[in-house]
Structure 1
Amino acid sequence: MPSETEKSMSALSDEFNDARIDESDQDKSDDISLPAHVAGSGSLERLVDTARDYARAAASDNTLKAYSKDWKHFARWCRLKGTEPLPPSTEMIGLYLADLASGSGPSPALSVSTIERRLSGLSWNYAQRGFTFDRKDRHIATVLAGIKRKHARPPVQKEAILREDILAMVATLPYDLRGLRDRAILLLGYAGGLRRSEIVSLDVGKDDTPDSGGWIDILDQGALLTLNAKTGWREVEIGPGSSDRPARFMRSSNGFTSPGSISGQCLRAPRGMATRRLRTASATNMSRG
């Protein structure tokens, strides 16, 4: 049995190696540079910086963080097995997937979707380091197919919110400024079929905040939402409908002064409160309902 000192030294070594991997990942994100035979110039250097910015935007921050954790986990697993993660070995990757599916020691078995995500993370990390591996190689493909057949479960479907549910939710809200704002947010989210992330990123008007995820226009025919979704900008039209629909509600609630703009108070934060925090709280209320 290893002593406490040996365990402590092993933990420190793992932390050092993880920090080194983080630095390496950061270096890989800045790998885009001019070829060695091309003389540098101000315009070319600016293009290199622009290309690096685009490369960093190729995946979301959350995805990159997940891929970084995937690589650190795999690298640590390789060290514990007495091998190195580079160059890629389809045999070792197949064994790694089997270990994830079966669980080892205190680590529980992972779901099929998480294992597939880990494999995608490894593929991305190897590509950033100039390596590739064939996911169709039998050491990977057959193991993954067996994991899916033995452990795959149908996805859990969330119960949909019905019209009666959303009306019951807004009926609990007061008729003060905050209540009117929360009604507008809940009804817009429901009628537009918006994700929580899309709801909380909405602004009153275009370019209200630097990280805006969209804005709202109230028109004669209803409401038009402009959203910055995962696949790019898109528009969602919401007709006026009946008296319980969002566009008709917001126009009748004195929250908006004129069609085509949202210059009133319906979606603005009460004095002394942060707008984004309140939008987030409203979206949380919707998810709890």
Structure 2
Amino acid sequence: MPSETEKSTSAPSDELDDARVDESDQEKSDGIALPSHVAGSGSLDRLVDTARDYARAAASDNTLKAYAKDWAHFARWCRVRGVEPLPPSPEMIGLYLADLASGSGPSPSQSTFGPQSASRPLSVSTIDRRLSGLAWNYAQRGFTLDRKNRHIATVLAGIKRKHARPQVQKEAILAEDILAMVASLPFDLRGLRDRAILLLGYAGGLRRSEIVSLDVHKDDTPDSGGWIEIFDKGALLTLNAKTGWREVEIGRGSKDQTCPVHALEQWLHFAKIDFGPIFVGTSRDG
């Protein structure tokens, strides 16, 4: 019988082991290498490194982190139940999806010793994301996960039919709504920043992630999502969007109070920002 100390520490230890194994697997699963029959050389090895960099850039850092967690969770789930995650088994993945949806089984984060409590059921969107994460991880390890296999597809279809919630259509924000928001802001540093964010985001139709990742100049920061150039007639935003780089032109407004370019200039001037991220946090006293 395991001691009380072993009981209390087995789960965290297993989670650490999962993390280490996952990191090791990730290092081995770049999938980009020279063919076995081709001898390496300095130029070819450099091209392999370049190709690996491009392969890593195929998904965002947040997506890769989420996929790594998905794999660690599934690997732990398999080990608790005495099965191996490799090679892919559509039957076991179907059972895994059913467990995620129902919350009927013990949580994989718990110790294998002692009483087990049911895990929390996950939403359909999270389950779908978990499945995408598994498919990506299997591909990096040289396997193909057939999501159309009946053991996976029919279970997922049933989960969506039984648990999916109808999508709530958000009401679009109109120009008068933005003006009302801007009018409520004070003229301290935080107010100047929020005014620039609202007006710039609305005028350019920008995502939140695009707004917060803007830099003053090109290549100011390694993880820059874009930069902005200000001209007499307006501003040009160069953005690293999901589908690649794109440019957004924003003209000056007829009134300074509602002009996105003027609001941006005011924020940059009074916040004394001339390098790096455009929008940063402010303290209570400015």
- Report the TM-score when normalising by structure 2: 0.81
Which of 158, 161, 164 does residue 176 from structure 2 map onto?
Answer: 164
- The corresponding residue for 1:33 is 33
Q: Which moved more, 1:219-228 or 1:95-104?
A: 219-228
Structure 1 stretch displaced more, 193-202 or 10-19: 10-19
CA RMSD of the aligned region, Å? 3.0
Consecutive unaligned residues in structure 2, runs of 5 or more:
105-116
- 1:189-204 counterparts in 2 under 5 A? 189-204=201-216
What is the aligned length? Answer: 269
The answer on whether the counterparts of 2:268 and 2:274 sit within 8 Å (CA) in structure 1 is no
- The 5-angstrom pairing of residues 246-265 of structure 1 reads 246-247=259-260, 250=262
Which moved further from structure 2: 116-125 or 178-187?
178-187
Does 128-137 or 164-173 show the bigger shift? Answer: 164-173
What is the 5 A alignment of 1:1-289?
4-8=4-8, 10-11=10-11, 13-104=13-104, 105-175=117-187, 179-219=191-231, 221-243=233-255, 245-247=258-260, 250=262, 266-268=267-269, 270-271=271-272, 276=277, 279-281=279-281
Q: CA deviation at 1:280?
A: 4.0
Per-residue deviation, 1:93:
0.6
Does the Cα contact within 8 Å between 1:204 and 1:267 map onto a contact in 2?
A: no
Distance 1:221 1:41 in 2: 53
Residue 120 of structure 1: CA displacement? 0.8
User: Is the CA contact 1:204–1:268 (under 8 Å) kept in the aligned structure 2?
Assistant: no
| Distance in 1, Cα, partners of 2:188 & 2:8 | 58
> 1:78·1:85 contact (CA, 8 Å) conserved in 2?
yes
Q: Quickly say closer, same or farther: Cα 1:111–1:180, change in 2 above 3 A.
A: closer
Question: Residues 279 and 93 of structure 1: is their aligned pair in 2 closer, same or farther, counting only changes over 3 Å?
Answer: same
- Structure 1, unpaired ranges of 5+: 257-264, 283-289
Q: Report the Cα offset of residue 194 of structure 1.
A: 1.2
SS at match of 2:249: strand
Between the aligned partners of 1:177 and 1:119, the Cα distance in structure 2 is: 44
Report the TM-score when normalising by structure 1: 0.80
Distance in 2 of aligned mates of 1:38 and 1:30: 18
CA spacing shift, 1:16–1:135, aligned 2, 3 Å: same
CA change 1:46–1:151 in 2 (3 A) is: same
Percent identical pairs in the alignment equals 78
